[in-house]
Amino acid sequence: MVEELGDFDQRVASALQVDGRAAPGRLAEVLGVSPRTVTRSLTRLADRIRVVRVPDPRHGLPAVTLLRVRVLRGRVERFADALSQHPETLFVDILEGGEEISAVVVGPKPHLPTAGAITNVQVLSVLHVFSDAADWRTGRLSKAEVEALTPPPATGAHAPDEQDRRLLELLTKDARTGPSALSVALGVPESTLRRRMDRLTSAGLVRTCVVADPRLFGLQVDANLWLTVPPGRLAEIGGRLARDPMVHGVLATTGPTNLMAAVFCRDLPALYDFVTRLDGVPAAEVTVVGGAVKRAGHRHPV
């Protein structure tokens, strides 16, 4: 049983969705509380959420593949665990019913372990990312609070060198690691570290994502919608879904369906309401996630 976060802890987690590296003092200023209150909240959240650095698909990604794999009953958990061990695997979900896994893999040749367990597989190439997990917001902050916390837009390009790549790797594991710890890990003066961080941030390369169980926010249902939409309306409908606060990912894909939307809902009636509001979608398959194994490149739960 996952216990829902208290109201203020939800607001702090929501603030980290906007700027995962915001200092306690900055969070306190925007949320209108003392830094000590924020620090206590961050301590409570430390073992319940994770803030990580993720790439921005708008800056270009290598080939991304969406998998739907049906596995022999009794071997699903082992298969999902093995698939999640590979660093190129970003997301692994076991769908309700216990015989199907969905996964997102970076790279042209997804590695499928224990092939003898597979009864059916769909390999769908991702053609366009309308939104991803880093874009999702809980809605617990006001518009003014979100605007105050939103980092400035990228101002230019920057080609990371080897030291930059090491820094980005550290932030991918824990995006809230402070400058002092990062400078020690890289063996450089803190002033040098801060200049590197400024360059990477200005180039839009320090994009953060909160990895958390949606039930912490009272959202009991995690569902994937596999949609078939008219090609001429794909951009319109994909963009509209990406702006919906219940949606935490929208991908245009190849395959028998051409649009996948991942949705968080409070309960099944809320999912029903969402599905019945799908305008311009002639066909939709709805699958409910029974268990999340890996999210944003990190095993789940955190």
Spatial separation of the C-alpha atoms in residues 189 and 66, rounded to whole Å: 42
For residues 186-214, one letter each, b for 16 or more C-beta atoms within 10 angstroms of the residue's C-beta and e for the rest, the string is bebeeeebeebbeebbbbbbbbbbbbbbb
**Whole-number pLDDT of residue 302:** 43
**Whole-number pLDDT of residue 115:** 62
Is this prediction's pTM over 0.75? yes
**Whole-number pLDDT of residue 198:** 94
In the chain (302 residues long), the average pLDDT of successive 10-residue segments reads 94 98 97 98 96 85 88 89 89 91 82 78 93 95 97 89 96 95 95 95 94 96 97 96 95 96 97 95 95 84 47
- Is the CATH code 1.10.10.10 the one for domain 155-203? yes
Domain map of the chain by residue range?
155-203
Q: ∠ CA(241), CA(297), CA(171), 5° rounding?
A: 105
The two structure tokens encoding residue 201:
């941030």
List Cα–Cα distances, 26 to 173, 175, 289, in angstroms.
Answer: 23, 16, 36
Spatial separation of the C-alpha atoms in residues 54 and 14, rounded to whole Å: 17
The two structure tokens encoding residue 107:
């790279």
